[in-house]
Amino acid sequence: MLDWDGLRYFLEVARTQRVSAAALRLGVQHTTVSRRIQTLERELNTRLFDKSKATGFTLTEEGTRFFAYAEQIEGTVLKAREEVSGQSQTLSGHLRVGSTEGFGSYVLAPLMMDFQRRYPALTLDIMPVPRFISLSKREADIAISLERPQRGPYLCTKLLDYSLKLYGSKTYLSQCAPIRSKAHLAAHDFIGYVEELLFSDRLRYLEDIVPTDRVIFKSTSVIAQYHALLQGRSLAILPCFMAEQDARLAPVLHDEITITRSFWMYCHEDLRHSTRVMALWDYLKKSVQLNKALLQGNSGQLLYLEGDAL
């Protein structure tokens, strides 16, 4: 009979590829993790990991096959614990959501605080980061991304299309000649991404609008770009849900320059039976639809679902 704790330790090491990182997430000593992995390998009579200083703990072929079964067991145990403890009725416990940086900070964070107000027994983590969230490593329960996952045992839905426009500070625009066409952009400097560090090709759009030699400030962070824009020395493309909430900014060539991208929400397939995960899933789906005008640049106000019931 395999020990469930042994499976938990195995899953954490497989996801983090480091005994020390797995120990930190499990709240135990790294020697305990090593001992549990060794015990599990003896019980299975096989080597689950290849170990090296360069790559850490990587799954062997047998380990990869065992990982799939261990994840299924984990999902069953989590669902059983939720049902037996009554969490499915009271919505207690913990949830973590990973998201793109701008959306996570300017839309998701306030919405999740409203969700927590409705379910005060829940605790929430939000991870707005300029990279993809790994659900296979259980970095989050729900991920919101610019791209639909191409493979994996995921439940996935398109949240909404959103718009990006060219913006400048009102102070800057009042001091320069009126911008009436794209040709006038040649006289201005711009803010953009560090192209070689882009985590998604969906963030490539500035190069189609302006000469690259006029990009004087670059950052991997859209929030850093936003704050640089507020200094009033250049122009930048920003998501409307960020810029339209700031009265200090104004769109440039509003009817001529509009970029459309999409947000996708997904979670691990085995979480479709988790009541608290699906409650947050439904809440976010409804809330984002409610804020269609903000995400598409037709409003500057974030709206919340009415009442306490979803």
**Residue 38: CB atoms within 10 Å:** 11
The predicted model scores a pTM of 0.73
Q: Which of 33, 57, 85 is the last residue of a domain?
A: 85
Position 210 in a domain: yes
Q: Which of 85, 112, 147 is the last residue of a domain?
A: 85
Per the structure, the count of domains in the chain is 3
User: What is the spatial distance between Cα 276 and Cα 281, in angstroms, rounded to a whole number?
Assistant: 9
Query: Comparing 26-30, 135-139, 142-146, which segment has the lowest mean pLDDT?
Result: 135-139
Q: Which of 56, 85, 114 is the last residue of a domain?
A: 85
Reported as a single tens digit per residue, the pLDDT across 88-117 is 456 777 888 999 999 999 999 999 999 999
What's the chain's length in residues? 310
Instruction: Tell me the residue range of the domain where 268 lies.
Output: 88-158+264-286
User: What is the spatial distance between Cα 184 and Cα 177, in angstroms, rounded to a whole number?
Assistant: 9
Can you give the pLDDT at residue 83? Answer: 66
Position 44 in a domain: yes
Query: Comparing 26-30, 164-168, 283-287, which segment has the lowest mean pLDDT?
Result: 26-30
User: What is the spatial distance between Cα 71 and Cα 67, in angstroms, rounded to a whole number?
Assistant: 6
Reported as a single tens digit per residue, the pLDDT across 160-198 is 999 999 999 999 999 999 999 988 998 899 999 888 787
Same domain flag for 122 and 209: no
Position 133 in a domain: yes
The band of 64, judged by pLDDT with boundaries at 50, 70 and 90, is: confident
Domain of 282, CATH number, reads 3.40.190.10
To the nearest 10°, report the CA torsion of 100, 101, 103, 109.
110
Strand 249-252 relative to strand 215-218, pairing: unpaired
Position 294 in a domain: no
Same domain flag for 187 and 230: yes
Same domain flag for 133 and 81: no
Position 23 in a domain: yes
3 pLDDT higher than 50:
yes
